[in-house]
């Protein structure tokens, strides 16, 4: 029996793996909640317009009802594709990844929530190459950052998502910028700490308040040999920038060590004005 006892190091390793697994399940659960919410909304639209079309016999009303139903069904199709996109990427392997596609799939899931909180979404995508990424992990990062941005703008604002190519660093920069509360300079060094949160608990949508969002983002980006940086100005807003290595279609051995490949200490914090 005693021969099977784990060393403290093995026990820590095991607990770490279990924690990572629990985090993946929690993210999946949150996503299931968001998706069900969105689907329910689409269904209500379809039901209501189908009833309207049956009640009113005139062509104009029926045409309107049918086009509303068509639009709702098309939206349902987009939502399904987003979730299928996640399922496609479930193999947890690094692959050439189009960030614009991942961003669009994430936005489909949060579209209604953003509209509800009067958050205007603007995408500014430059032409960028594929990055080397595990799609669903990056999607989780996007959902976390977009949700934080939305929560920083309780009375509405702008969410700006930018893609830019940085050929010198062989990287693609993805920026998620909000016009929200901003983060006080003295809090900036703490925001990536696990369990650090300034929120009193989950909001009406069941999100936030646990302080695991940014810690998870940092873990994922570091495992991608990327960087995550933040710039924030109180009262003006916050911008998180993720740099991910461009996918290189060459054997691993001939890969030059990416500039941003140093796995630790790459999270740079800055309190500089974000524009
Ligand atoms: N876009 C943002 N604007 C303002 N503050 C933010 C933003 N993103 C993160 N923060 C701050 O960082 C903290 C940690 O974020 P996170 O790890 O996602 O945990 P949680 O959202 O559960 O509080 C938040 O509680 C908040 O104080
Ligand atoms: Mg969060």
**CA of 85 relative to ligand 1 center, distance in Å:** 27
Ligand 1 site, residue 208, Cβ cutoff 6 A: yes
Across 20-24, 88-92, 228-232, which has the greatest mean pLDDT?
Answer: 228-232
Task: Say if CB 149 and CB 207 are below 8 A apart.
Answer: no
Closest ligand 1 atom to residue 237 Cα is 3
- Across 5-14, 84-93, 182-191, 216-225, least confident range: 84-93
- What pairing do the DSSP bridges indicate for beta strands 131-133 and 157-166? unpaired
**CA of 153 relative to ligand 1 center, distance in Å:** 12
How far apart CA 27 and CA 84 sit, in angstroms, is: 16
Domain boundaries, the chain: 8-85, 94-270
**CA of 196 relative to ligand 1 center, distance in Å:** 8
Alpha carbon separation from 32 to 83, 210, 212, 266 (Å, rounded):
9, 18, 18, 32
Ligand 1 site, residue 209, Cβ cutoff 6 A: yes
CATH fold match for the domains 8-85 and 94-270 = no
pLDDT at 164: 98
Mean pLDDT of 39-67: 93
* 147-177 confidence digits (pLDDT tens): 999 999 999 999 999 999 999 999 999 999 9
Task: Say if CB 133 and CB 95 are below 8 A apart.
Answer: yes
Tell me which CATH code domain 8-85 carries: 1.10.287
* Residue of the CA atom closest to atom 11 of ligand 1: 191
Across 29-38, 135-144, 257-266, which has the greatest mean pLDDT?
Answer: 135-144
How far apart CA 179 and CA 156 sit, in angstroms, is: 9
**CA of 239 relative to ligand 1 center, distance in Å:** 12
Q: Which CATH number fits domain 94-270: 3.30.565.10, 2.40.30.170, 3.40.50.720, 3.90.1170.50?
A: 3.30.565.10
Which two three-digit tokens encode residue 215?
Answer: 């810690």
How far apart CA 226 and CA 70 sit, in angstroms, is: 41
pTM (two decimals): 0.76
* 113-139 confidence digits (pLDDT tens): 899 999 999 999 999 999 999 888 898
How far apart CA 49 and CA 62 sit, in angstroms, is: 9
């Amino acid at each position: 029996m005693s021969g099977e006892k784990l060393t403290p190091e093995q026990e820590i390793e095991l607990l770490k793996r279990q924690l990572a697994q629990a985090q993946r399940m929690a993210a999946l659960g949150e996503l299931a909640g968001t998706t069900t919410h969105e689907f329910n909304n689409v269904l209500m639209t379809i039901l209501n317009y189908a009833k309207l079309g049956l009640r009113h016999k005139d062509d104009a009303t029926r045409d309107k009802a049918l086009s509303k139903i068509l639009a709702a069904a098309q939206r349902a199709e987009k939502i399904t594709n987003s979730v299928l996109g996640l399922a496609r990427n479930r193999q947890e392997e690094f692959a050439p990844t189009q960030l614009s596609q991942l961003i669009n799939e994430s936005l489909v899931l949060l579209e209604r929530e953003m509209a509800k909180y009067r958050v205007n979404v603007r995408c500014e995508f430059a032409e960028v190459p594929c990055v080397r990424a595990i799609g669903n992990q990056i999607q989780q990062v996007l959902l976390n950052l977009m949700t934080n941005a939305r929560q920083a703008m309780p009375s509405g604002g702008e969410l700006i998502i930018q893609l830019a190519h940085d050929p010198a660093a062989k990287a693609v920069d993805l920026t998620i910028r909000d016009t929200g509360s901003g983060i006080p300079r003295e809090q900036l060094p703490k925001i990536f700490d696990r369990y650090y949160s300034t929120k009193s608990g989950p909001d009406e949508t069941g999100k936030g308040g646990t302080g695991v969002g940014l810690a998870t983002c940092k873990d994922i980006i570091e495992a991608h040999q990327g960087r995550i940086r933040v710039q924030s100005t109180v009262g003006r807003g916050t911008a998180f920038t993720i740099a991910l290595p461009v996918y290189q279609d060459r054997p691993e051995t001939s890969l030059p060590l990416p500039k941003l490949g140093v796995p630790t200490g790459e999270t740079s914090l800055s309190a500089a004005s974000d524009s």
